[in-house]
Amino acid sequence: MSLVVGPRAADYPDKIIHMVIALPPGGSADMIGRHFANHLAQRLKQTVVVENRPGADALIGPTYVARSKPDGYTLLFVTPSIPTFRALFKNPPIDPEKDLIAIGQVVESPYVIAVPATSPFKTLPEFLSYVRQNPNKLNAGVFAAGIRLATETFMRGYGLKMTVVAYKGESPMASALMDTGRPGERS
């Protein structure tokens, strides 16, 4: 996850800083972003207000920040999805390389394949075997453009066929996973 910001003013910060998180509340990006915002507020001795702007494969938050006044008072806390915009969307509303400036990486987090505890799959090989033998029977939940790209690349690399279902964020995706008897299985 990275923090992206506009140019810095000489007397910065002399007013409230807004930090946009491109995913909904409750997921790891939100929790890490809020924790970071608290540390940033203490360090800068200025209020940092966190605002979630999820949606559109995590395009809404970055687009909002890219179009905001470039004074360093609107920050973006985001997953590594931003570089994938041009690869996934025919005409993305922003060009992250031109419209945003990355100022630092905050944390690294691995991708995880998760299934309900009641699932028949206990190992990755069991899961892969089932998906290969049952094409398009399972859904793969994703919550940002980069995760969608990584999931589709993973599926191609392992010869898997699943329906990719986009969620606004990690928390809604995890809730959907917990609400099913089997992971995204369709009858």
17-34 pLDDT per residue, tens: 999 998 889 888 899 999
Residue showing tokens 């000489």:
10
pTM exceeding 0.85: no
Is 70 exceeded by the pLDDT of residue 3?
no
Binned at pLDDT 50, 70 and 90, residue 155 comes out as: very high
Tens digit of pLDDT for each residue in 70-120? Answer: 988 999 998 777 777 777 778 888 888 889 988 888 888 777 777 778 888
Q: Which of 52-61, 108-117, 136-145 has the lowest mean pLDDT?
A: 108-117
> What is the pLDDT averaged over residues 166-181?
77
Least confidently predicted of 80-84, 107-111, 123-127, 130-134: 80-84
Give the residue, 119 or 128, on which the prediction is more confident.
128
- pLDDT for 1 equals 57
What is the rounded distance in angstroms from the CA atom of residue 12 to the CA atom of residue 178?
Answer: 44
Whole-angstrom Cα distance, residue 61 to residue 41?
21
What is residue 184's predicted lDDT score, i.e. its pLDDT?
A: 47
Domains in the chain (CATH in brackets) are: 2-105 (3.40.190.150), 124-178 (3.40.190.10)
pLDDT, residue 182, reads 46
pLDDT at position 7 over 60? no
pLDDT at 177 over 70: yes
Q: Residue 183: is its pLDDT beyond 50?
A: no
H or E element, residue 50: strand 48-52
Burial class (CB in 10 A: 0-12, 13-18, 19+), 43: exposed
Instruction: Identify the helix (H) or strand (E) that includes residue 42.
Output: helix 28-44
| Span of 129-133, 140-144, 174-178 with lowest mean pLDDT | 174-178
Structure tokens, 99: 């419209």
